[in-house]
Chains A and B, each alone.
Chain A
């Protein structure tokens, strides 16, 4: 799908080996469905990751990610050129997830349980500091506001402004949440771990 897209970019659109997100959006708005397909290929894993980390249920995360893409497709014309597509799609996905969580809370009256992770129990061994499963479990055990910030930090790197834009929070709050989340992660990853500010 993406190969056909790169073969013949229309006039007025920069032809590079790897088109930018803005190019792909312009092509998609011009009616090239394969351009949107390439965008989906680029970000679907990250979007699903964000949905799963927020909702913590495979089926609902899948539905939320799909809903986010449908909303993005319908609102593609409103995307501001020059803005970061990743931030935009993450924002849409995060709002969809929040709506779904709010609905679920309304119907069930409480938050869903954390998904079971064998490494999350107190009997878990903590020898391997870099163990991905252990870190994943520690992130999953974080309170929601810290878990989302850590997930976006994971997805977007140290671009705090982008994280703040997605969550619609002040920059200072994002930094505070991130600081607290990291402290909690350190505490979960090892009782002997000591924080050294770099």
Chain B
């Protein structure tokens, strides 16, 4: 076999056929890919803002001698507003949760109705 014959045979060789779904897969992963909800710089900016707010809050709380107790009072008042210091709240909460558990454990699954043939 000469060089030319081998070259001709090589160039006449058909290329491997790609799988049928390959084009769609490539397009889905590139052009048709949904854009992310947030850009990377937006997420970075959000993270920086959150860190700054956290640092500022911590500084406000720690800088004033009375701010710690004031913050504690605010939290307690908030919890009291929701009735979290009342015994009856917990009693009703327990009643509610146990009712939910009891109802969810009832056999409400529909059973297949027996077929009745009209004669």
Across-interface contacts of A62 in B (CB, < 8 A): 18-19, 22, 25
A146 on interface, CB distance cutoff 8 Å: no
* Bound Cα distance A53, B14 (Å): 13
Number of interface residues, chain B, beta carbon within 8 A:
26
10 A-B pairs whose Cβ atoms sit less than 8 Å apart in the complex:
A36-B30, A48-B22, A53-B16, A62-B22, A129-B1, A135-B9, A135-B10, A150-B10, A154-B11, A157-B11
Asked if A190 meets B15 with Cβ closer than 8 Å, knowing A66-B22, A73-B30, A185-B6, the reply is no
Could you tell me which residues of chain A, from 175 to 194, have a CB within 8 Å of some CB in chain B? 182, 185-186, 189-190, 193-194
When the two chains form their complex, are residues B16 and A49 in contact, meaning their CB atoms are under 8 A apart? yes
B106 on interface, CB distance cutoff 8 Å: no
User: Which size bracket describes the interface of A in this complex?
Assistant: 35 or more
Asked if A45 meets B16 with Cβ closer than 8 Å, knowing A37-B31, A129-B1, A154-B10, the reply is yes
Across-interface contacts of B23 in A (CB, < 8 A): 40-41, 44
When the two chains form their complex, are residues B1 and A193 in contact, meaning their CB atoms are under 8 A apart? yes
B17 on interface, CB distance cutoff 8 Å: yes
